[in-house]
Amino acid sequence: MGNDEGSFTLKEEEELCVGQRVIDDLGKDRLSELGVTAEDASAIDTAEFTEEEDDLMISSLFDCIDGREFMNQSFTASGLPEETIKCINERVSDEAIDDFFESMMSNGTPNQEFADAREECVTNS
């Protein structure tokens, strides 16, 4: 994510939402234990979270962002043709998009709806 070229950029309200959800879900004490503080929130990038904590953070992210916008920016940044992106958008629900990114971030398998749409749209482009 972040602000590197070709990455997804969170809106300010999304950043605040994710930050608050992470604090609510993990707690200030646990974040401090990991070296993540208000003064150095960047320490979150190198903190060693448990698998459960990673899942909570992924959930926090997708509760606060627009998954479809995230998908479109990610696909555009990867160089996927606009026609293919439009095709995928027409064939998948918001829930399937959220499920796809959550599974991708946790090294899972994309749901069938998303996998089928991606296959059909990439093959036909």
Instruction: Give per-residue pLDDT as tens, 50-77.
Output: 989 988 888 888 889 888 988 898 889 9
Q: What mean pLDDT is reported for the chain?
A: 85
Q: Is the pLDDT reported for residue 6 higher than 70?
A: no
DSSP characters over 85-119: HHHHHHH--HHHHHHHHHHHHTT----HHHHHHHH
The separation between CA 117 and the C-alpha centre of its own chain, rounded to angstroms, equals: 19
Instruction: Name residue 107's amino acid.
Output: N
Q: Is the pLDDT reported for residue 1 higher than 50?
A: no
Instruction: Give per-residue pLDDT as tens, 41-51.
Output: 888 889 999 98
Determine the Cα–Cα distance for residues 114 and 96; give it in Å rounded to an integer. Answer: 6
pLDDT-derived band at 38 (thresholds 50, 70, 90) equals: confident
Determine the Cα–Cα distance for residues 60 and 17; give it in Å rounded to an integer. Answer: 8
CA nearest neighbour of 111 among 122, 121, 92, 96: 96
Q: Is the pLDDT reported for residue 4 higher than 60?
A: no
Q: Are 99 and 87 in contact (CB under 8 A)?
A: no
Helix (H) or strand (E) holding 63, with range, is helix 51-64
Determine the Cα–Cα distance for residues 117 and 125; give it in Å rounded to an integer. Answer: 12
Instruction: Give per-residue pLDDT as tens, 92-116.
Output: 998 888 888 777 776 677 778 888 8
Q: Is the pLDDT reported for residue 20 higher than 50?
A: yes
Determine the Cα–Cα distance for residues 4 and 10; give it in Å rounded to an integer. Answer: 12
